[in-house]
Chain A
Amino acid sequence: MSRTIMAAVMRLVNRSSLSSAMGQKYVAFSSTAKVKAAGLRAGQGLPEKVKIVEVGPRDGLQNEKTMVPTETKINLIDMLSASGLPVIEATSFVSPKWVPQMADQVEVMKGINRKPGVSYPVLTPNLKGFQAAIKAGASEIAIFGAASELFSKKNINCSVDESLQRFDEVMKAAKDAGIPVRGYVSCVLGCPYEGMVAPEKVAHVAKRLYSMGCYEISLGDTIGVGTPGSMTKMLEAVSREVPVNALAVHCHDTYGQALANILVALQMGISVVDSSVAGLGGCPYAQGASGNVATEDVVYMLHGLGIQTGVDLSKLIDAGAFICRTLNRKTNSKVAQATCKL
């Protein structure tokens, strides 16, 4: 189809099918062309429900300078369970030699009060970790791959393909045991070593993880450099290879872009968002910078948009206040900072 005919077709379709809800000069040609004027979700094609995956106890605490006692971790997870979060990443079965903050993985797993209906996935970097996780009672695990070759080499000393091969045996064991596996892709919008990361590369890794058997792929902007434009491009590439309802976004707020990036992801059909209570977790690649987006701020935005999460924001804020007191640090959540209650 030639470009000129295509352009003519588009103009015709634009004029007739889209209402001038925004009175814009250009009518936005989005994939959800039914622009509804009414309603808070106002035709942006936003989902009715969003599943929040709480990564504070693992991703968050793993990247905090202060080490937290086992009891505190258990208490935090129990408070998060009570707030209505459907998924809480509990711990990581990685060798304590590498990640001392997660050395109490077994005690944490055994100590938490598992709320019915809530999942508690744990990271398992290899078969040994997987076996230890199952023994400790895990019923969901997670594996990860990088979208950047250099990041993979510097982080885990092998290429991306090699890292995914290593997970083959974990995947097989998980399948045999009937354990669902979540896949993480890091550096989806930029790499601290390579800089720009091609969307096609992200799509390739996401597709590999999905075809290996991961039920969901969480796309992580590891250093938080993404902006709505690059997020859109990346999601367009990935959603051609993996169904959008199997995708999640894991945005870091290192450059203050997380909520904007999450919003465009929602507009593109994503309905699973990873976040960390109180914005726990710094950034190992940028001294003094922030990391994870705060769950409180995400929930505030989603509820404001009329999107259901099942989360009780005030209980969540309580959990955040608790962990910040224990860590003796200020919260990274703007919502928690604001005491003005409207």
Chain B
Amino acid sequence: MGNVPHTVKHCLSYEQLIQDYPRLKRWLLEEKTNTGHEYPEFVKIVEVGPRDGLQNEKEIVPTGVKIQLIDMLSGTGLAVIEATSFVSSKWVPQMADHTDVLRGIQRAPHVRYPVLTPNMQGFQDAVAAGATEVAVFGSASETFSKKNINCSIDESMLRFEEVINTAKEKQIPVRGYVSCALGCPHEGYIQPSKVSEVAKRLYELGCYEISLGDTIGVGTPGSMLKMLQSVMKEVPTNALAMGVCVVDSAVAGLGGCPYAQGSSGNVSTEDVLYMLHGMGIETGVNLAKVIEAGDFICNALRRETNSKVAKARGRTL
């Protein structure tokens, strides 16, 4: 090994090293598989089925069923379960029972149950119902913002600022969501810089974590990469969800797509878990129990699961 210092002195590139020492390549490949530096060791799954999932299902589910679903999910090892949304029942009838749901669930220790609070009214109702974590939703697309919540991105940020400041006073953590991160049903392609701008604002307002949402699922690995590169310049990596070490998903892939008739929506928690566990990444979640929770809700909704893993385990309706 006497010639190593010589190599190190004159070779500054990997290619040069491989050229001079072709046998190195095999060693280096082995080193890579052994240390596995490319992926995180642990991924936190944020389960959005009971809120994002059920909100986008055609059938409205009784309060008792929602509570049971959340209780089943609480027993799987999931650390974060989005429970409900304190939005006006006029707009989202599926979430009209928000107070009853939040009061009815059995809160497992070490599990958090964030709820959506689009404005001060919702925030106050949430706190009155016992919420200990809230979430706000911003959009990377102006048109989507106007069509969805009837105001511009800037105006929505003002609303959120109010919520976040009040939450800070009460020491309630706030999670921020950015929708249309990889495309908008109205505007089409969304500039990564716009996504990072919105993510940065939410982070600076005080959100502890920003979840970047590919709302209509049009993104591909390339556009995902570009968007993340842009956002990572503005928001610390450990405060980002989706693609780094925090992933949102929905049990049984609940939730269709309101912008594409008949299409699927959320990725299935079961399928994400299968992949992560297969890659040796820890999640703390029991896949079999999540499959059971998925079976339960699909039976209640009288629909087939969207999860390939659940289908493969022979549990279709």
**Interface check B232, CB cutoff 8 A:** yes
Residues on the B chain within 8 Å of A34, using CB: 15
Q: Are B262 and A339 in contact (CB under 8 A)?
A: yes
**Interface check B128, CB cutoff 8 A:** no
Q: Are B262 and A337 in contact (CB under 8 A)?
A: yes
Q: Are B263 and A10 in contact (CB under 8 A)?
A: no
Q: Are B278 and A306 in contact (CB under 8 A)?
A: no
Q: Are B280 and A229 in contact (CB under 8 A)?
A: yes
Residues on the B chain within 8 Å of A25, using CB: 237
Q: Are B275 and A306 in contact (CB under 8 A)?
A: no
Residues on the B chain within 8 Å of A5, using CB: 1, 4
Q: Are A22 and B264 in contact (CB under 8 A)?
A: no
Residues on the B chain within 8 Å of A263, using CB: 221
Q: Are B316 and A288 in contact (CB under 8 A)?
A: yes
Name A283's closest neighbour in chain B (CB-CB): B312
- Complex formed: what's the CA distance from A254 to B298 in Å? 19
Majority SS at the chain A contact face: loop
**Interface check B183, CB cutoff 8 A:** yes
Residues on the A chain within 8 Å of B183, using CB: 342
Give chain A interface residues in 278-337, CB to chain B under 8 Å: 283, 286-290, 300-301, 303-306, 334, 337
Q: Are A226 and B278 in contact (CB under 8 A)?
A: yes
- Complex formed: what's the CA distance from A225 to B308 in Å? 11
Q: Are B229 and A16 in contact (CB under 8 A)?
A: no
Residues on the B chain within 8 Å of A288, using CB: 311, 314, 316
Of A35-43, A136-144, A155-163, the one touching chain B: A35-43
Name B265's closest neighbour in chain A (CB-CB): A338
B14 contact from A17, A23, A24, A228, Cβ within 8 A: A17
Given contacts A1-B1, A342-B183, contact A227 B262 (CB under 8 A): no
**Interface check B188, CB cutoff 8 A:** yes
**Interface check A118, CB cutoff 8 A:** no
B275 contact from A2, A40, A227, A339, Cβ within 8 A: A227
Q: How many residues of B contact A (CB 8 A)?
A: 64
**Interface check A256, CB cutoff 8 A:** yes
Residues on the A chain within 8 Å of B146, using CB: none
- Complex formed: what's the CA distance from A21 to B261 in Å? 37
Residues on the A chain within 8 Å of B7, using CB: 9
Q: Are A40 and B216 in contact (CB under 8 A)?
A: no
Q: Are B274 and A256 in contact (CB under 8 A)?
A: yes
B317 vs chain A, min Cβ distance (A): 10
- Complex formed: what's the CA distance from A30 to B35 in Å? 12
- Complex formed: what's the CA distance from A37 to B308 in Å? 34
Q: Are A256 and B309 in contact (CB under 8 A)?
A: yes
Given contacts A12-B8, A13-B14, A342-B216, contact A23 B233 (CB under 8 A): yes
- Complex formed: what's the CA distance from A339 to B258 in Å? 11
Residues on the B chain within 8 Å of A340, using CB: 185, 216, 218, 257, 259-260, 263
A6 contact from B31, B264, B271, B309, Cβ within 8 A: B31
Q: Are B260 and A300 in contact (CB under 8 A)?
A: no
Q: Are A17 and B13 in contact (CB under 8 A)?
A: yes
Residues on the B chain within 8 Å of A337, using CB: 260, 262-264
Residues on the A chain within 8 Å of B218, using CB: 340, 342
**Interface check A260, CB cutoff 8 A:** yes
A198 vs chain B, min Cβ distance (A): 14
A302 vs chain B, min Cβ distance (A): 8
Q: Are A289 and B237 in contact (CB under 8 A)?
A: no
A283 vs chain B, min Cβ distance (A): 7
- Complex formed: what's the CA distance from A194 to B275 in Å? 20
**Interface check A33, CB cutoff 8 A:** yes
Give chain A interface residues in 30-72, CB to chain B under 8 Å: 30-31, 33-34, 37, 40-42, 44
B222 contact from A13, A256, A290, A304, Cβ within 8 A: A304
Can you offer 7 A-B residue contacts whose CB atoms are under 8 A? A26-B38, A28-B37, A260-B275, A286-B313, A304-B222, A340-B260, A342-B189
Extra inter-chain contacts (12) besides given A1-B27, A17-B14, CB under 8 Å: A1-B1, A5-B4, A6-B27, A22-B228, A29-B37, A30-B38, A229-B279, A232-B33, A236-B33, A255-B309, A256-B268, A290-B312
B residues with a Cβ closer than 8 A to A are 1, 4, 7-8, 11-15, 17, 25-29, 31-33, 36-38, 183, 185, 188-189, 216-223, 225-226, 228-229, 232-233, 237, 257, 259-264, 268, 270-271, 274-275, 277-280, 307-309, 311-314, 316
A residues with a Cβ closer than 8 A to B are 1-2, 5-7, 9-10, 12-13, 16-18, 21-31, 33-34, 37, 40-42, 44, 224-230, 232-233, 236, 240, 253-257, 260, 263, 283, 286-290, 300-301, 303-306, 334, 337-340, 342
